[in-house]
Amino acid sequence: MDPLLLVGLFVILFAVMTLLKAVRIVPQARARNVERLGRYHRTLKPGLNFVIPYIDRVYTMIDLREQVVSFRPQPVITEDNLVVEIDTVLYFQVTDPRAAAYEIANYITGVEQLTVTTLRNVVGSMDLEKTLTSRDTINSQLRGVLDEATGKWGLRVNRVEIKAIDPPKTIKDAMEKQMRAERDKRAAILNAEGQRQSQILTAEGDKQSRILRAEGQRTAAILEAEGQSRAIDQVFQAVHRNDPDPKLLAYQYLQVLPQLAQGDGNTFWVIPSEVTSALQGVSKAFTEALPRSEATREEVPQSSAAEEEAAKAAEAAALAVADAQESESQNGPRQLTQSTPEPSPFPDLDKKPSEAER
């Protein structure tokens, strides 16, 4: 093979390789640092870039997008000497590729260790209960410290989130018991409140019902008393208006006699002494003309009505005698005693009319 041809092929291949090394294409949101003769020269921007082959050295690409790094759970001691494991998530972004490459050897490891130390400082000043309820405070303090420390590394910490806080198992059991006791306490309080409200409502209802019932009874008693008062007044007015005489009272005695003999256990009953005079008055009432009162002066009673009243009186007397005989045959002879005359409610009406009055 011709040596000149080999040399030509070698030159062409070298030229192609040199051209390829001179052209660098950087994707969007990426950056590459360039060293010329071992010294930082410039940073390649996204797009087409040219470098001097064999003189410029192009380093690996640096991602300029926001990155999310989750660190392993780290044991942290709280102020009350309890060990808890805290799992954190860091959101950061490279803002200066030159500082990220030359100010720190590995910025990921540096951020992780800085997060752990800062977290221990922040949580170490809090007790367990405050640590569990103050995540926002811990996040803001971590972000402030990390953003200030990583600024010279060409990094910007956007936020730090605590993913989990795991206390020891014994503490978890104690917390669960405390939470269960709190729930039982709230349930007991709510139950007691419900019972108290129910009893109050029941008592209020009972009170209202009793008040209404008492008002109803009072109104009924008042109405009943008013009715009885009116009835007594009407009877009293009717008696005085009609001017009754002893004959009417004698007739009333005859109507009461059958009722005295109707009792099953009546073995002793008293016949008032006025009955004799009443019977005499009745007999004279049906044989003589009745005197007219002011109420009966307008109308003259018919003879048929008088005869009907006489028949009723005779029938009532016969019925009283029959009942007395039947009771005597069953329960033994009844003792008939004549009682002393009791004062009549109408003393003026019980007086026997004189011959002149007749």
- For 199-239, the pLDDT digits (tens) are 999 999 999 999 999 999 999 999 999 888 888 888 777 77
Mean pLDDT of the chain: 77
Which of 250 and 73 is assigned the larger pLDDT?
73
pLDDT of residue 214: 92
Query: What average pLDDT does the segment 311-318 reach?
Result: 65
Question: Could you read off the pLDDT of 73-99 as tens digits, one per residue?
Answer: 888 888 888 888 888 899 999 999 999
> Is the pLDDT higher at 138 or at 314?
138
Neighbours of 216 (CB within 10 A): 10
Say if residue 36's pLDDT is above 80: yes
Spell out the residues 6+ positions from residue 4 whose beta carbon is closer than 8 angstroms to its own.
Answer: none
pLDDT attached to residue 79: 87
The residue ranges of DSSP E strands in 51-207, in sequence order, are: 56-63, 67-70, 74-77, 83-94, 155-166
31 sits in which H/E element: strand 30-36
Structure tokens at 298: 């307008």
Q: How many CA atoms lie within 13 A of 296 on its CB side?
A: 13
8 Å CB contact between 109 and 151: no
Q: Minimum mean pLDDT among 116-120, 254-258, 306-310, 313-317: which range?
A: 306-310
Predicted pLDDT of residue 340:
43
Q: Does the structure show a pLDDT above 60 at 302?
A: no
Q: Which residues does residue 50 pair with via DSSP β-bridges, in sequence order?
A: 23
Residues paired with 32 in a beta bridge: 44, 61
Backbone angles phi, psi at 199, to 5 degrees: -65, -40
| Confidence at residue 320, expressed as pLDDT on a 0 to 100 scale | 64
Nearest by Cα to 123 from 178, 91, 169, 162: 162
pLDDT at residue number 43: 92
Q: State the average pLDDT over residues 290-299.
A: 46
CB neighbour burial string for 161-197, b if at least 16 within 10 angstroms, e if fewer: bbeebebeeeeeeeeeeeeeeeeeeeeeeeeeeeeee
- Checking if the pLDDT of 137 tops 90, the result is no
Question: For 1-25, what is each residue's pLDDT tens digit?
Answer: 678 888 888 888 888 888 888 899 9
For position 54, what pLDDT does the model report?
87
Res 34 pLDDT > 90: yes
Confidence bin at 257 (pLDDT 50/70/90): low
- Residue 132: which residues within 8 A CB-CB, separation 6 or more? 165, 167
Name the percent of the chain lying above pLDDT 70.
67
